[in-house]
Amino acid sequence: MESRAATACAMPIADPDEERRRRRSWAGRVGLVAGALLYLVEDLTRNPLPHPGRRLQLFSSEVAQLRPEGLPWNLRGLLVIGRPGVEIRFPGPVEAGFLEVSCDSNDEYAVIARRGGRPVGETRIPPRSATGVRLRIEQIDLTGTLGGQAYDTLSIEPHGGDGLYFIGHVRPL
Protein backbone atom coordinates (compact mmCIF):
# COMPACT_ATOMS: atom_id res chain seq x y z
CA MET A 1 0.00 0.00 0.00
CA GLU A 2 1.30 3.42 -0.96
CA SER A 3 1.60 6.16 1.56
CA ARG A 4 -0.25 9.45 1.10
CA ALA A 5 3.04 11.41 1.07
CA ALA A 6 4.31 9.43 -1.92
CA THR A 7 1.18 10.03 -3.99
CA ALA A 8 1.01 13.75 -3.13
CA CYS A 9 4.53 14.35 -4.39
CA ALA A 10 4.15 12.40 -7.58
CA MET A 11 4.09 14.74 -10.61
CA PRO A 12 2.70 13.72 -13.95
CA ILE A 13 5.22 13.66 -16.77
CA ALA A 14 4.53 16.69 -18.94
CA ASP A 15 4.23 16.47 -22.69
CA PRO A 16 7.47 18.04 -24.06
CA ASP A 17 5.60 19.65 -26.98
CA GLU A 18 3.04 21.18 -24.62
CA GLU A 19 5.86 22.56 -22.46
CA ARG A 20 7.51 24.15 -25.53
CA ARG A 21 4.19 25.73 -26.59
CA ARG A 22 3.66 27.11 -23.07
CA ARG A 23 7.15 28.64 -23.02
CA ARG A 24 6.73 30.17 -26.51
CA SER A 25 3.39 31.67 -25.49
CA TRP A 26 4.92 33.20 -22.36
CA ALA A 27 7.94 34.49 -24.31
CA GLY A 28 5.60 35.95 -26.93
CA ARG A 29 3.66 37.86 -24.28
CA VAL A 30 6.85 39.16 -22.68
CA GLY A 31 8.14 40.15 -26.13
CA LEU A 32 4.90 41.97 -26.89
CA VAL A 33 5.07 43.96 -23.65
CA ALA A 34 8.77 44.73 -24.16
CA GLY A 35 8.05 45.82 -27.74
CA ALA A 36 5.26 48.13 -26.57
CA LEU A 37 7.56 49.69 -23.96
CA LEU A 38 10.31 50.23 -26.55
CA TYR A 39 7.76 51.83 -28.92
CA LEU A 40 6.63 54.18 -26.13
CA VAL A 41 10.20 55.18 -25.30
CA GLU A 42 11.00 55.70 -29.00
CA ASP A 43 7.81 57.75 -29.47
CA LEU A 44 8.61 59.96 -26.47
CA THR A 45 12.11 60.65 -27.80
CA ARG A 46 10.64 61.75 -31.13
CA ASN A 47 7.69 63.59 -29.65
CA PRO A 48 8.54 64.34 -26.03
CA LEU A 49 5.89 65.51 -23.65
CA PRO A 50 6.54 69.16 -22.92
CA HIS A 51 8.15 70.30 -19.71
CA PRO A 52 5.56 72.68 -18.26
CA GLY A 53 8.08 75.42 -17.44
CA ARG A 54 10.43 75.19 -20.42
CA ARG A 55 10.08 76.48 -23.97
CA LEU A 56 10.72 73.84 -26.62
CA GLN A 57 13.55 74.92 -28.97
CA LEU A 58 13.68 73.56 -32.52
CA PHE A 59 15.33 74.21 -35.85
CA SER A 60 13.05 75.15 -38.73
CA SER A 61 13.94 71.91 -40.53
CA GLU A 62 12.30 69.93 -37.68
CA VAL A 63 8.89 71.48 -38.35
CA ALA A 64 9.09 72.01 -42.12
CA GLN A 65 7.21 68.88 -43.25
CA LEU A 66 3.69 69.75 -44.36
CA ARG A 67 0.97 68.10 -42.25
CA PRO A 68 -2.53 67.72 -43.67
CA GLU A 69 -5.46 69.37 -41.98
CA GLY A 70 -7.70 67.28 -39.72
CA LEU A 71 -5.06 65.06 -38.09
CA PRO A 72 -5.67 64.11 -34.42
CA TRP A 73 -3.42 65.72 -31.80
CA ASN A 74 -1.67 62.52 -30.73
CA LEU A 75 -0.39 61.45 -34.14
CA ARG A 76 3.36 60.83 -34.40
CA GLY A 77 5.19 63.82 -35.79
CA LEU A 78 2.96 66.46 -34.23
CA LEU A 79 4.54 68.43 -31.39
CA VAL A 80 2.67 68.74 -28.13
CA ILE A 81 3.80 72.00 -26.56
CA GLY A 82 3.44 73.46 -23.07
CA ARG A 83 2.39 76.97 -22.00
CA PRO A 84 5.83 78.51 -22.69
CA GLY A 85 5.42 77.47 -26.33
CA VAL A 86 8.03 76.68 -28.93
CA GLU A 87 10.92 78.65 -30.39
CA ILE A 88 11.81 77.89 -34.01
CA ARG A 89 15.22 78.99 -35.29
CA PHE A 90 15.90 79.52 -38.99
CA PRO A 91 19.38 79.06 -40.53
CA GLY A 92 19.46 82.72 -41.59
CA PRO A 93 17.25 85.82 -41.80
CA VAL A 94 13.81 85.19 -43.33
CA GLU A 95 12.22 87.99 -45.32
CA ALA A 96 8.95 86.23 -46.19
CA GLY A 97 5.94 88.20 -45.01
CA PHE A 98 3.59 85.23 -44.98
CA LEU A 99 3.76 82.17 -42.76
CA GLU A 100 1.98 78.82 -42.83
CA VAL A 101 1.35 77.19 -39.47
CA SER A 102 -0.59 74.04 -38.63
CA CYS A 103 -1.85 73.96 -35.05
CA ASP A 104 -4.70 72.84 -32.78
CA SER A 105 -8.05 74.02 -34.13
CA ASN A 106 -9.63 75.16 -30.86
CA ASP A 107 -6.77 77.17 -29.31
CA GLU A 108 -5.37 80.67 -29.73
CA TYR A 109 -1.65 81.22 -30.34
CA ALA A 110 0.64 84.24 -30.37
CA VAL A 111 3.30 84.28 -33.09
CA ILE A 112 6.29 86.49 -32.32
CA ALA A 113 8.98 87.13 -34.95
CA ARG A 114 12.44 87.96 -33.57
CA ARG A 115 15.74 89.04 -35.05
CA GLY A 116 18.81 88.63 -32.86
CA GLY A 117 16.53 88.02 -29.85
CA ARG A 118 14.66 91.30 -30.33
CA PRO A 119 10.93 91.21 -31.29
CA VAL A 120 10.27 92.65 -34.76
CA GLY A 121 6.62 91.64 -35.18
CA GLU A 122 3.74 89.84 -33.51
CA THR A 123 0.33 88.51 -34.45
CA ARG A 124 -2.32 86.13 -33.11
CA ILE A 125 -3.87 82.98 -34.52
CA PRO A 126 -7.46 82.89 -33.23
CA PRO A 127 -9.24 79.59 -32.58
CA ARG A 128 -11.16 78.24 -35.56
CA SER A 129 -13.62 75.99 -33.71
CA ALA A 130 -14.90 75.79 -30.15
CA THR A 131 -14.50 72.02 -29.91
CA GLY A 132 -12.27 69.31 -31.25
CA VAL A 133 -8.57 68.65 -31.13
CA ARG A 134 -7.70 68.46 -34.80
CA LEU A 135 -4.97 70.03 -36.85
CA ARG A 136 -5.81 73.15 -38.88
CA ILE A 137 -3.64 75.04 -41.35
CA GLU A 138 -3.44 78.82 -41.10
CA GLN A 139 -1.75 81.24 -43.47
CA ILE A 140 -0.65 84.30 -41.55
CA ASP A 141 0.14 87.71 -42.99
CA LEU A 142 3.09 89.21 -41.12
CA THR A 143 3.78 92.03 -43.61
CA GLY A 144 1.95 94.65 -41.56
CA THR A 145 3.64 93.80 -38.28
CA LEU A 146 7.15 93.21 -39.65
CA GLY A 147 7.43 96.50 -41.49
CA GLY A 148 9.85 94.99 -44.01
CA GLN A 149 12.18 93.57 -41.37
CA ALA A 150 13.58 90.04 -41.54
CA TYR A 151 13.41 87.55 -38.67
CA ASP A 152 15.57 84.60 -37.67
CA THR A 153 13.41 83.11 -34.91
CA LEU A 154 9.69 82.54 -34.42
CA SER A 155 8.07 81.95 -31.06
CA ILE A 156 4.65 80.33 -30.97
CA GLU A 157 2.96 80.62 -27.59
CA PRO A 158 -0.45 79.29 -26.55
CA HIS A 159 -2.89 82.01 -25.38
CA GLY A 160 -6.15 80.43 -24.33
CA GLY A 161 -7.95 77.26 -25.16
CA ASP A 162 -8.33 73.83 -23.64
CA GLY A 163 -4.79 73.46 -22.24
CA LEU A 164 -3.70 70.87 -24.82
CA TYR A 165 -1.56 72.63 -27.43
CA PHE A 166 0.20 71.22 -30.47
CA ILE A 167 1.70 72.24 -33.79
CA GLY A 168 2.34 70.29 -36.96
CA HIS A 169 4.46 72.42 -39.28
CA VAL A 170 5.73 75.97 -39.64
CA ARG A 171 7.09 77.40 -42.87
CA PRO A 172 7.60 80.82 -44.39
CA LEU A 173 5.76 81.41 -47.69
Same structural domain for residues 87 and 146?
yes
Is 2 contained in some domain? Answer: no
Same structural domain for residues 94 and 122?
yes
Average pLDDT across the chain, whole number: 79
Quote the number of domains for the chain: 2
Same structural domain for residues 142 and 85?
yes
Q: Look at residues 107, 99, 91, 94 and name the one whose alpha carbon lies nearest to residue 157.
A: 107
Same structural domain for residues 38 and 116?
no
pLDDT at 26: 56
pLDDT at 119: 94
Say if residues 112 and 146 touch (Cβ distance below 8 Å).
no
Give bridge partners of residue 75 from the DSSP assignment.
none
Question: What is the DSSP annotation of 19-73?
Answer: HHHHHHHHHHHHHHHHHHHHHHHHHHHHSPPPPTTS-EEEEGGGG-S---TT-BT
User: For 122-140, what is the mean pLDDT?
Assistant: 85
If one counts every other C-beta atom within 10 angstroms of the C-beta of residue 71, the result is 17
Amino acid identity, position 31: G
pTM, whole model, 2 decimals? 0.68
**Residue 28 belongs to domain spanning:** 14-46
Q: Tell me, what CATH number does 130's domain have?
A: 2.60.120.260
Same structural domain for residues 157 and 86?
yes
Is 3 contained in some domain? Answer: no
Same structural domain for residues 139 and 101?
yes
